[in-house]
Amino acid sequence: MGLSPKCTGALTPLLFFMKMLLCSALCPCSDPALCKPITETRDFEVFVFHVREKNWLFYDWTQVTTVATFAEYEPDLMCFAHSKGVRYVLAGDVSLKDIVDPKNRTSWITQKVELAMRQFMDGLNLDIEEPVLKGSPQYYALTALVQETTEAFHKEIPGSQVTFDVPWAPNCVAARCYNYTGIADLCDFLFVMSYDMPPQFLTEWVAGANSPYNETLTGYDQFINLGINPKKLVMGIPWYGYDYVCLELTKDNKCILFKESLLESAAQQVGYSTIMKQLNSSLSGRIWDDFQKSPFFNYKDTEGLVHQLWYDDPESISLKAAYVPKRSLRGIGMWQADCLDYSSDPVAKKQTEMMWKALRP
């Protein structure tokens, strides 16, 4: 097998092996230029989590800048994304206890870099979401993981992007005592998960918004107050909601919860397309909560139990999204793009279009 000149050079045996794999991997795109990683930087990020095959062709490609894939690798998606100048990045999830050991960490990172190169991908999104105690071995290993992953990707895939998912606020929210300033400095940017707030937020045993307005913005203020550059923050909004079973529904629409409901399992996650179908047969129709700036509705299930479903729609999303340019954040994104209905049904089509539009109000 002949190697082209740029595939040779003084490399360690391992890197040499990786380059050989890359140079010999066959580009699946009709135009081989499309296998080149994206190197351009964008002023505004629209960071999209992709979890299922099939829908991606119907995303709003006039907006998307990065697709982070939690689905199977799809060569067609890689070629298509590159044709639009869009990055296609791996998801990286590893148990922290397995990467405290530096050798183990290096081997995990090497595997990811090699996989990305073989698949002509443009980086990695680190989705760790593990509780960590300040000053524990995991605390330092996590920061080192971010640093070493970013360095390895940037070196081997010039222009590649390494990002890290953080909860809606720093300060040990969700027991995640991470070195947020260190991590923000050491990677390209943070994806802030401005959702899953209710369980920590309930002061009463009452259902509430997944992504309440005030807490969402307070979270960004706290990251910025730590000294993190707003350009290192991408706002993550939810395209799903939570369905609660009510022990009692009060006259003023408070859904009183069974005490056990505070366990995460008692509130079910529901995607926007399902929510829109349920809204039609709800008891209450859409109600706007002006304090949390989120919509909700009540419905009765087949067993006669009353539920309250809190979600985000174009109105609640636009309000939060308006903060992104106002505070000069890096961009916006969502968990996750496949929560919408991409069928040809005209009502669904309109709803889906409005959700994408709400990202840039």
Ligand X SMILES: *[C@@H]1O[C@H](CO)[C@@H](O)[C@H](O)[C@H]1NC(C)=O
CB 152, min distance to ligand X, A: 16
CB 147, min distance to ligand X, A: 6
Q: Is 361 in the site for ligand X (CB under 6 A)?
A: no
Q: Is 114 in the site for ligand X (CB under 6 A)?
A: no
The single residue of 40, 74, 114, 129 carrying the catalytic annotation is: 129
Angle between helices 346-357 and 272-279 (to 10 degrees): 130
User: Residue 136: CB partners within 8 Å, gap ≥ 6?
Assistant: none
Q: Is 24 in the site for ligand X (CB under 6 A)?
A: no
Cβ burial of 108 (10 Å; 0-12, 13-18, 19+) is middle
Q: Binding to ligand X (CB under 6 A): which residues in 67-106?
A: 98, 100-101, 104
Cβ burial of 285 (10 Å; 0-12, 13-18, 19+) is exposed
**According to CB under 6 A, which one of 130, 215, 289, 315 is a site residue for ligand X?**
215
Q: Is 211 in the site for ligand X (CB under 6 A)?
A: no
**According to CB under 6 A, which one of 182, 230, 271, 361 is a site residue for ligand X?**
182
Cβ burial of 202 (10 Å; 0-12, 13-18, 19+) is middle
- The nearer residue to ligand X, 28 or 114, going by C-beta atoms, is 114
Token pair belonging to 299: 């419905």
Q: Measured on CA atoms in the order 361, 325, 269, 294, is the torsion positive or negative?
A: negative
Asked if the bond preceding 336 is cis, omega within 30° of 0, the reply is: yes
Q: Is 343 in the site for ligand X (CB under 6 A)?
A: no
Distances (CA, A) of 299 to 202, 245, 282, 285, 291: 21, 10, 5, 9, 22
- The nearer residue to ligand X, 20 or 100, going by C-beta atoms, is 100
Size of the site for ligand X (CB under 6 A): 14
- The nearer residue to ligand X, 78 or 145, going by C-beta atoms, is 145
Part of the chain binding ligand X (CB under 6 A), chosen from 26-34, 113-121, 214-222, 321-329? 214-222
Cβ burial of 7 (10 Å; 0-12, 13-18, 19+) is middle
**According to CB under 6 A, which one of 8, 39, 111, 218 is a site residue for ligand X?**
218
CB atoms within 10 A of CB 340: 25
Is 129 considered catalytic here? yes
CB 323, min distance to ligand X, A: 13
Cβ burial of 256 (10 Å; 0-12, 13-18, 19+) is middle
The contact pattern for ligand X, residues 229-268, with x = CB under 6 A and - = no contact, is ----------------------------------------
Part of the chain binding ligand X (CB under 6 A), chosen from 13-21, 149-157, 213-221, 317-325? 213-221
User: Residue 153: CB partners within 8 Å, gap ≥ 6?
Assistant: 113, 116, 123, 124, 160, 161, 162
Q: Binding to ligand X (CB under 6 A): which residues in 267-286?
A: 276-277, 280
Q: Binding to ligand X (CB under 6 A): which residues in 118-177?
A: 143
What H or E segment, with its residue span, contains residue 346? helix 346-357
Token pair belonging to 176: 């995640």
In this structure, are residues 287 and 297 in contact, taking their beta carbons and an 8 Å threshold? yes
The residue whose Cβ lies closest to ligand X is 182
- The nearer residue to ligand X, 114 or 159, going by C-beta atoms, is 114
CB 88, min distance to ligand X, A: 25
Catalytic residues: 129
The residues that touch ligand X, with contacts defined as CB under 6 A, are 98, 100-101, 104, 143, 179, 182, 214-215, 218, 276-277, 280, 347
